[in-house]
Chains A and B, each alone.
Chain A
Amino acid sequence: MSYKHKIAKRAAQEIRPGDVINFGIGIPILAMKYLSEDMPVFIHSENGILGMGRTCTSGDENRNLIDAGGGYPTLVTGASFFDSALSFALVRGGRLDAAFLGTLEVSQEGDLANWIIPGKFAPGIGGGMELAQKAKRLIITTTHTSRKGEPKILTRCTLPLTARRCVNRIITELAVMDVTDRGLVLKELAVETTLNDVIRKTGAPLIIEQDNEMDIPKF
């Protein structure tokens, strides 16, 4: 299983029956693949859909039905369509139980920076700020380090922020961490890695609640 699928599979376990969820593009939307078929959830898409199902397999696409990333989804029973103002009223009004987003950087205090690299990458913010600020739970799904191998999880973000103190949980291919008042708490360790490796690749202190590495839950 690729690291992306490992993250997506673990992210899917965060979802509870009855949740209203938004998946960002990239790794987050992969999590949908790992949701049990009979899990009763409503997946929201910024472009005005509640009740998205899995991505279409070739041939079933409808020209009037895309997700926020441009892919062609299916619908679940009970799905509905609405305009863009209502779509974000749902988000800002506090009706999203959880949002899953990728990131460039995330800080130990839960600050998120995922929309701009000044001078290099500035395609606009899209719906990310509203999802980050207003979802009841914000779960970040990301590789533990950048392509250059530098930590993405930091004491403080160096890039311009998407939103301050918004992240609840971080899921990477190596670890699951919670943002708490005390700092970042290591909740789970990937079976493919070691505690020392995770500490080395994390740019912020990790609080480890277990005395022995073998007692840290594995995923």
Chain B
Amino acid sequence: MKTIDKRTSLDHAMKKINSGQTIMAGGFGVPGTPFTLLQGLLDRNLKHLTLIKNEANEDGMGLSKVIEAGMADRLITSHLGLNSTVINMMNDKNIQVEFFPQGILAEKIRAGGAGLAGILTDIGMDTLISKNKQMVIMDDTPVIVEKSLRADVALVHAAKADRAGNLMFEKSARNFNPIMAMAADLVIVEAEEIVPTGAMAPDAIHLPCAFVDHVVLIKNLTSAYGVLKSHVIQA
């Protein structure tokens, strides 16, 4: 019987990414950040990328390495409070940064994945966030028009995938991963474990395989994926 098998090598998947493209990466802090794919992206040494991620990871980690290498012109994000390197690059105008409220960033991506043109919201009304934004009047009240957000490529981390590309996430590593997988033309997933299709119960699948193009097995769960000692409270 023929089966769908989306497994591929890191090199093969990364060759599909080109300079000038828009790339989303999942993750909120360490959990859910696709460190293996981001290292693969770094090794491609591309230019003029637009990056989309909740934050830029901490200095010297994950997405920060891609930015520090000068590969990106633009970053669309929510918060950089734990990354002084990227904040300094922003202040020195070495990267253009566009901030959105975290849930609005998520909802713009969700809308992009759901085939919607945008969303209407009152978040940020009468603040710097609403400056120069398109507004519409609904029920006599002005609301902000936020365009949906899509990318050429989404880089996604999953705890478990099957060969067809059905995904399961673990704990707080889910975050932006499933919505970004819905909102890109090419979706590359790194998985800690790949099981035969059918080994995951249909009810246990968090993201259906229709949204996934390639699945790369993480060969080495490097220390980047581990507990960050600087955040551990000593008893």
Question: Considering only CB atoms, which chain A residue lies closest to B225 in the complex?
Answer: A63
CA distance A88 to B227 in the complex (A): 26
Interface of A is mostly: loop
B138 on the A face (CB < 8 A): no
Residues in chain B near residue A123, CB distance under 8 A = 79-81, 87
Query: Which interface class (under 10, 10 to 19, 20 to 34, 35 or more) fits B?
Result: 35 or more
CA distance A125 to B105 in the complex (A): 11
Question: Considering only CB atoms, which chain B residue lies closest to A57 in the complex?
Answer: B235
Contact present for B30 and A129 (CB under 8 Å)? no
Within the complex, what minimum Cβ distance (angstroms) separates B71 from chain A? 21
Interface of B is mostly: loop
CA distance A172 to B169 in the complex (A): 40
Question: Considering only CB atoms, which chain A residue lies closest to B97 in the complex?
Answer: A124
A185 on the B face (CB < 8 A): no
Q: How many residues of A contact B (CB 8 A)?
A: 46
Given A124-B77, A130-B103, verify A61-B232 contact (CB < 8 Å): yes
Count A-B pairs with CB separation below 8 Å: 152
Residues in chain A near residue B173, CB distance under 8 A = 64
Residues in chain B near residue A72, CB distance under 8 A = 227, 231-233
Contact present for B172 and A63 (CB under 8 Å)? no
Mark each residue of chain B from 72 to 105: 1 if its CB lies under 8 Å from any CB of chain A, else 0. Answer: 0000011111100001000000000101111111
Interfacial residues, chain A to chain B (CB-CB below 8 A): 45-49, 55-58, 61-66, 68, 70-72, 81-85, 87-89, 91-92, 116, 122-130, 133-134, 160-164
List of 6 A-B pairs having minimum Cβ-Cβ separation, nearest first:
A88-B103, A126-B79, A123-B81, A84-B106, A124-B79, A57-B235
Since A57-B233, A85-B106, A160-B128 are in contact, a sample of 16 more A-B pairs with Cβ atoms closer than 8 Å, ordered by chain A residue number, is: A46-B103, A48-B28, A48-B172, A55-B233, A62-B171, A64-B159, A64-B172, A70-B29, A72-B231, A84-B28, A84-B103, A84-B179, A89-B103, A126-B78, A129-B124, A129-B129
